[in-house]
Amino acid sequence: MLLNLPAAGGPLHRRVYLALKAKIRAGDLGSASRVPSTRALARDLGVSRNTVMLAYEQLAAEGYLVSRHRGATSVAAVAPPRSTPAPARVTVARPVPISAYARRLTARLDLAPPRPAGPRPVLRYDFRYGRPAVDEFPREIWRRLLAAHARRASSDALGYGSSAGHGALRAALSEYLGRARGVVADPERIVVVNGTQQALDLVARILLDPGDGAVVEEPHYPGATIPFAAVGARLLRVPVDADGLDPAKLPAVRQRPRLAYVTPCHQFPSGVIMPVERRLALLAWAARVGAWVVEDDYVSEFRYEGQPLEALQSLDRDERAIYVGSFSKTLFPALRVGYLVLPRALVRPFLAAKWAADRFSAPLYQEALAELITEGQYERYLRRAGARNAGRRKALIAALSERFGERVELAGENTGVHLVVWLRDVRPAELGDVVARATRAGVGIYSVAPFYAGPPPRSGLLFGYAALTEAEIRAGVRRLAELF
């Protein structure tokens, strides 16, 4: 038998196996045709008989070969069909049989945007929002905690965990959130999830049926509107002004509002803060219409004048508020640990949905996080990061004011890790060209347009600054100004 062994493919017996399987799949060895004995094929190939026997055994285990009487081996009567290349051109587009949920989701979420033609520009100064300064994360402390917990992990710790999350982390979060954010957070009301996005997905699937109303801020955070719309909810957009979401414009009960998603301590993307009067009015509305209030408290630990504001959930007396928190922006995104603080009535449904989604979140990071919090290392790092971010925010404001002056308007309170910059002398139709020119010059800037349901009222950019040094911020703004 003429058999060409592939040059790569691992050990010799696997290369023999791959070559034989290729012949069978191509039809060169038809169904029921005999193959050489192991001795004969070994002699032809100049290999040991054991090598061929191992290849034959693997092919027999996968159903390609069968042994006949007196030790004869042949190709299975029904061999797998040969692979045929896909037609070069599909003439009829057939609908893919997927659920209505999947159709709604894929229509709104493009996970593979088209790459621009030519080499991708290198962004020397990238003002992308959501990138923390990972280089300044206390890696040695984190490595020590991970190593210690990995070394002393018991057999139980390596098995299945609780859907609610690691008990020590929930206890640490309960104490920290009550002290630092004013959140009423008994450990039994906390569910650990894989980041804010899983929290919002669980919220959508547990609280919304097709046709239900979901109140969202306008401008909005797409990470919330996409899962809400995917389950078939109607997005009820309430405009944001200088004081955040306006409770006077909340929908009536006849519109079937089931929840309201808000970012009260630092509205995304505008950066405004919702005052206590509006927070109380929002909670009163929720109690009156039977809706839930989902509070996304992202990066509220970073406030640069005074203490961080207490969470809206701290004002909740009717258990209508669901508090969502995460470590992605304060520590690093790959950590993928977030948490929900739930009303008691929702704990059991959320645990059931978490179990159905992925059983439980990986425990090792949770154990290390619990110790990072209880040792006080987390809050010490927050203080260092807050001071660092305050300096970078100040540098960005100063550079924009110096280079652009009255041509720009800066928006956003002294919280968070981004600024909204409105461009007074750029028409909305021109903004795409400005962004493209900046990209070619190595400066990453990003339009606010994706956070509006319709065209934004004017040309605006979202500037993240946490991942850049003060020198990089000044240099990036200087290069950007040269483009104008």
Answer CATH for 125-132+383-483 from 3.40.50.1100, 3.20.20.70, 3.90.1150.10, 2.60.40.1180: 3.90.1150.10
Q: What are the contacts of 141-148 at 24+ separation with CB within 8 A?
A: 141/372, 141/377, 142/368, 142/372, 145/367, 145/368, 145/371, 145/372, 146/364, 146/365, 146/368
Largest pairwise CA distance in the chain: 94
Q: Residues 201, 338: contact at Cβ < 8 Å?
A: no
Mean pLDDT score, 225-249: 96
Q: Residues 473, 481: contact at Cβ < 8 Å?
A: no
Q: What percent of the chain has pLDDT over 90?
A: 66
Q: Phi and psi dihedrals of 76, rounded to 5?
A: -60, 150
Return the higher-pLDDT residue of 135 and 266: 266
Question: Which range has highest mean pLDDT (19-33, 125-139, 213-227)?
Answer: 213-227
CA angle 361, 192, 364 (to 5 degrees): 45
Q: Phi and psi dihedrals of 211, rounded to 5?
A: 95, -15
Q: Phi and psi dihedrals of 361, rounded to 5?
A: -85, 150
Q: Residues 436, 424: contact at Cβ < 8 Å?
A: no
Is residue 402's pLDDT more than 80?
Answer: yes
Is residue 113's pLDDT more than 60?
Answer: no
User: Could you give the CA distance from residue 428 to residue 434 in angstroms, rounded to a whole number?
Assistant: 10
pLDDT for 112 equals: 54
Mean pLDDT score, 444-451: 95
pLDDT for 175 equals: 96
Q: Which tens digits make up the pLDDT trace of 347-386?
A: 999 999 999 999 999 899 999 999 999 999 999 999 998 8
User: Could you give the CA distance from residue 259 to residue 282 in angstroms, rounded to a whole number?
Assistant: 11
Q: Which tens digits make up the pLDDT trace of 39-91?
A: 999 998 889 999 999 999 999 999 899 987 666 888 987 656 665 555 556 55
DSSP of 192-256: EESHHHHHHHHHHHHH--TT-EEEEEES--HHHHHHHHHTTPEEEEEEEETTEE-GGGPPPGGG-
pLDDT for 57 equals: 92
Q: Which tens digits make up the pLDDT trace of 468-480?
A: 999 999 999 999 9
User: Could you give the CA distance from residue 183 to residue 325 in angstroms, rounded to a whole number?
Assistant: 11
For the ranges 79-93, 128-142, 421-435, which has the lowest average pLDDT? Answer: 79-93
Q: Which tens digits make up the pLDDT trace of 134-184?
A: 777 888 899 999 999 888 887 777 888 899 999 999 999 999 999 999 999
**Which CATH code fits 140-379?**
3.40.640.10
Q: Residues 180, 206: contact at Cβ < 8 Å?
A: no
Is the link from the previous residue into 219 a cis peptide, with omega within 30 of 0?
yes
Number of residues that this document lists for the chain: 484
Token reading at 200: 């919002």
Quick one: pLDDT band at residue 115, thresholds 50, 70, 90?
A: low
Q: Residues 312, 277: contact at Cβ < 8 Å?
A: no
For the ranges 15-24, 150-159, 191-200, which has the lowest average pLDDT? Answer: 150-159
For the ranges 12-26, 80-94, 181-195, 319-333, which has the lowest average pLDDT? Answer: 80-94
The neighbour count for residue 106, using CB atoms within 10 Å, is: 13
Quick one: pLDDT band at residue 232, thresholds 50, 70, 90?
A: very high
Q: What percent of the chain has pLDDT over 70?
A: 94
pLDDT for 81 equals: 61
Mean pLDDT score, 193-198: 96
Q: Phi and psi dihedrals of 232, rounded to 5?
A: 95, 10
Question: Do the domains at 125-132+383-483 and 140-379 have one common CATH topology?
Answer: no
38-45 vs 49-61: helix axis angle to the nearest 10?
120
pLDDT for 465 equals: 93
The mean pLDDT of the chain is: 90
User: What element of type H or E holds 293?
Assistant: strand 292-296
pLDDT for 28 equals: 85
Architecture of domain 12-75: Orthogonal Bundle (1.10)
Question: Which residues lie closer than 8 Å to 247 by C-beta, 6 or more apart?
Answer: 278, 281, 282, 285
User: Could you give the CA distance from residue 469 to residue 477 in angstroms, rounded to a whole number?
Assistant: 12
Quick one: pLDDT band at residue 309, thresholds 50, 70, 90?
A: confident
Burial of 171 by CB count in 10 Å (0-12 exposed, 13-18 middle, 19+ buried)? middle
Mean pLDDT score, 333-351: 95
> Domain boundaries in the chain?
12-75, 125-132+383-483, 140-379
pTM: 0.85
Mean pLDDT score, 434-460: 94
Which of these, 284, 232, 231, 230, lies nearest to 260 by C-alpha position? 284
